[in-house]
Amino acid sequence: MKSNKSEQSFVLDTASERESENDLSFLLGMIFKRAWPVWKRYEGNVPELELEQLEKHGDWPRGLAVHVMQRISKDVDLRKQLEELL
């Protein structure tokens, strides 16, 4: 039984999308894993210097650390997950 090209393309696209999602999940996980101990140390009130160091050492885009800390501060469930994992 032959499958047509559009079906093959769909299967390849779906596999590629899953791989991209896994890569993105891994990247986001690493970012939160690095940010969590810093957030905990300062109970969410992270000094600017610490934010800059996170960005520098993590090779993050400028301003990302602020957004990550805000997300952790706003999301109780995320904090619970991070506490359980780390």
Domains of the chain by residue range: 28-85
The pLDDT, as a whole number, for residue 4 is 57
**Looking at the predicted structure, is the pLDDT value of residue 5 above 90?**
no
* DSSP state for residue 43 in the 8-state scheme: T
User: Amino acid identity of 67?
Assistant: H
Per residue in 25-54, pLDDT (tens digit) is 999 999 999 999 999 999 999 999 999 999
Whole-angstrom Cα distance, residue 79 to residue 56?
A: 24
The structure's pTM equals 0.76
